[in-house]
Amino acid sequence: MADKKRPKARTAAPRNTDDSASSSLRCYNIPDYRLEHPQFRIFMAGEGSNVEYRVEGDLSAPPPPIRESKYLSREQSIAIYRWMLLNRRMEAALENLYKQGKVVGGVYFGLGQEGCSCASAYALGPDDWLGPMIRNQGAMLVRGFRACDIMRQYMAKGDSPTWGRDASSHFGDWQRRNVCAPISMLGELIGVMAGVCLGARMQGRNIVGLTYVGDGGQSTGVTYESLNFAAVQKLGLVLIVENNLWGYSTPADMQFCVKDLAERAIAYGIPGVIVDGTDACQVYDATHEACERARRGQGPTLIEAKMMRMKGHAIHDAAQYVPAKLFAYWRMRDPIARFESYLVKEKQWLTAEANQKLIDEVECELEADREAAAASPMPDPETDKTHQGVYCDPSCHEIKPKYCAVVTKPCEGAVAPKTAEGAVHLK
Ligand SMILES: Cc1ncc(C[n+]2csc(CCOP(=O)(O)OP(=O)(O)O)c2C)c(N)n1
Ligand SMILES: [Mg+2]
């Protein structure tokens, strides 16, 4: 009988078909944990003003079941489900706040990606670090930010995490929650997180630096440089490639030629894994294993999470370029509805009443947070005076290593430079 839990090994075969070379053909395994393998392609058709994207393939398949986790307990599974609910409800509230004219700037959504954000962040330990992107607001909730923090930020309130100076999710917390503020979407965080891991390594610790990049962002130069550096240094980077099929209005099929983005891991010399990004259990298991590897000092892992961006790039984008059939297909694969059915019907870990109670509690918490955020004051010149400092000097606050004192040890076999040489050079 086939073992349901065992990942299917898929072989990325080199394209060389010359038989004489077969003895030197190398094979690489990319474990693929998905329980279905969607077969369709998105392409451009039509001419002039009638150009549109069309989808071709089998879109009639029923949604796959949730793969049972090798690690998650009942309590942990319910906790992740709760975070996913909060993530979604918060974004729905943000959309309403935007429509009421209360949000300054745009709003970004992770609709359809909640399982990926929440289950991955849930795999982190207290010493680990998170580098979220704009669609990973669920990960920020898991890491300890409250929904009212995020809502205040979008409304540029005076008591928001950046005191009203930035109006989207560009904020972090390097003191308590170990969260790096997002920079650009296009791979810049990867180098920063590699640096965080390197810093911890210099203090004698192997920690995890979990971050994300999109299917679009994955092709940038900085992604390549940063991941290569992390691989060479065996840093604890865990990179989740969120393949949500779109980079702005460009479909994934028009962005790269590899079949699966996880294959790119081969070129970095690190493990690559494919998961169904709408299945919280698969995301958790793959991230957990990658984190364990990172903590053992074995280096980075690339996890490709396949899913669908269920809204436009941001609130201003109605995503009319997306074929309606594609939305319908992925709506059937909703990460929350499927996880709910898994917990209630399949595992029977939640009764219908307990599930409703949990949903009501999330609703209640969110409503209280929304009210508190809406009632928060806008920044004013008087209070803003306390946040004027952009640069600080040593008298401002003590900067000390987070984990312990920096430990340096000479590389084995390295020849120490002549002291005189160094001194002369430094002069
Ligand atoms: C350096 C830089 N260039 C351009 C942008 C604008 N930009 C933001 S998101 C994005 C596309 C991202 O697509 P993808 O990586 O697939 O992520 P997704 O939005 O699908 O999550 C672009 C071009 C940016 N944020 N930073
Ligand atoms: Mg994308």
Ligand 1 centre and the CA of 281: distance in Å? 27
Q: Output the average pLDDT for the chain.
A: 90
| Atom number of ligand 1 nearest to Cα 218 | 15
Residues 306, 81: Cα–Cα separation, whole Å: 19
Q: How far apart are CA 256 and CA 212, in angstroms?
A: 18
From the CB of 248, is ligand 1 less than 6 Å away? Answer: yes
Q: Which residue has the tokens 């002039």?
A: 48
Q: What is the pLDDT of residue 3?
A: 45
From the CA of 168, which ligand is nearest? Answer: 1
Beta strands in 12-95 (DSSP E): 29-32, 40-45, 52-57
pLDDT at 392: 72
Among 116, 169, 185, 307, residue to substitute to test ligand 1 (most atoms within 8 Å of Cβ): 185
Q: Which residues of the chain have pLDDT under 70?
A: 1-22, 389-390, 408-427
CA-188 nearest atom, ligand 1: 1
pLDDT at 415: 55
CA of 422 to the centre of ligand 2 (A): 49
Is the whole-model pTM more than 0.85?
Answer: yes
Q: Provide CB contacts within 8 A for 110, sequence distance 6+.
A: 87, 91, 116, 117, 135, 136, 137, 138
What is the pLDDT, as a whole number, of residue 413? 54
Q: Phi-psi region for residue 312, left (φ > 0), alpha (ψ -120 to 50) or beta?
A: beta
Local structure of 200: helix, strand or coil: helix
pLDDT of residue 10: 52
Q: How far is CA 259 from CA 139, 147, 225, 227, in A?
A: 28, 37, 22, 20
pLDDT at position 398, please? 76
**Which atom of ligand 1 is nearest the CA belonging to 133?**
21
